[in-house]
């Protein structure tokens, strides 16, 4: 059974976009994934995104994706919302992934804007609608034009929100004005997909986060969220400012690279990366240690 949700928080409030642990020879590490998932939920996550960008989804096979969803569900599926990334730039492939994720038991779907082929807004609308029509699972859109090349325009978000299963948006657009209008004009649950903007997005109506830095600072993220929800703006701001070195340090290069390095420094399951991702250099690792320590992260 999936954890209890509400229309305002269909996937919980604090979710981490989880890395995919690999063994030393690059194979899928299902035991490590279960250990990491349990650690993240124990730390305060009420949701996990599996097979997203931080999970190296472009280099994880369809069969591995399904195995990973099942393993994480077995470990923590009764305590956290397990959202499976199914976004590709091929609608037919996304439909296959969505149906497989539903069969594996996922609680919801994350669908990124199709990348590289740069479809027009009508193409985005039809793509997301087709995915939402393909299963009975709730859908979280993922708007990240820096990766996809195309934003989901406000009008398109408002249209998509009319679909009964399109219930949320992960916002990595970096535009508080557009976010404000889309939140005001739709009933989508809004999740920050940009850790530096977690607190600002809460202030314009977001309900929670889909975080990368949650791998190392989930308790602080939850404390910031709770402070905001109870009206303690000063405390929320203090936590946000304390975490600034972490937000900066974890994104000096691609997030999965620094996240796996941080987890390795903590002795947690992560393993190597699959090309084209590469490990941090010694100098980059040293800088990451400085950044994390400045934000209070224990290594």
Annotated active-site positions, please? 142, 170
Q: Rounded to whole angstroms, how far apart are CA atoms 108 and 28?
A: 22
Question: Do the annotations mark residue 23 as ligand-binding?
Answer: no
Contacts of 295 (CB under 8 A, 6+ apart): 217, 242, 243, 244, 245, 246, 247, 249
Reference 103, options 89, 88, 129, 84; nearest CA is 84
Q: Rounded to whole angstroms, how far apart are CA atoms 123 and 102?
A: 24
User: Is residue 86 within 8 Å of residue 101, measured between CB atoms?
Assistant: yes
Question: Do the annotations mark residue 210 as ligand-binding?
Answer: yes
Q: Rounded to whole angstroms, how far apart are CA atoms 140 and 82?
A: 12
Task: Report helix, strand or coil for 210.
Answer: strand
Detail the residues annotated as belonging to a binding site for pyruvate. 54, 210
């Amino acid at each position: 059974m999936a954890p209890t949700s509400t229309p305002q928080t269909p996937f919980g409030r604090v979710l981490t976009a989880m890395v995919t642990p690999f063994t030393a020879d690059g194979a899928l590490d299902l035991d490590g994934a279960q250990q990491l998932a349990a650690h993240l939920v124990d730390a305060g996550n009420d949701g996990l995104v599996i097979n997203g960008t931080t999970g190296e989804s472009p280099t994880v096979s369809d069969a591995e994706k399904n195995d990973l969803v099942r393993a994480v569900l077995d470990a923590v599926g009764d305590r956290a919302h397990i959202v499976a990334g199914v976004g590709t730039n091929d609608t037919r492939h996304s439909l296959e992934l969505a149906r497989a994720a539903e069969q594996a038991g996922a609680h919801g779907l994350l669908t990124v804007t199709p990348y590289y082929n740069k479809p027009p807004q009508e193409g985005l609308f039809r793509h997301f609608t087709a995915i939402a029509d393909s299963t009975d699972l709730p859908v979280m859109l993922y708007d990240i034009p820096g990766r996809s090349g195309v934003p989901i325009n406000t009008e398109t978000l408002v249209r998509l929100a009319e679909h009964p299963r399109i219930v949320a948006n992960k916002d990595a657009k970096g535009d508080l004005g557009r976010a404000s209008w889309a939140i005001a004009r739709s009933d989508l649950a809004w999740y920050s997909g940009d850790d530096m903007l977690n607190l600002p997005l809460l202030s314009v109506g977001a309900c929670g986060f889909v975080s990368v830095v949650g791998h190392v600072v989930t308790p602080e993220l939850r404390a910031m969220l709770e402070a905001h929800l109870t009206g303690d703006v000063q405390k929320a701001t203090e936590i946000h400012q304390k975490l600034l070195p972490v937000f900066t340090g974890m994104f000096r290069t691609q997030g999965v690279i620094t996240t796996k390095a941080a987890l390795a420094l903590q002795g947690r399951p992560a393993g190597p990366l699959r090309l084209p991702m590469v490990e941090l250099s010694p100098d980059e690792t040293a800088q990451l240690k400085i950044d994390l320590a400045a934000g209070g992260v224990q290594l």
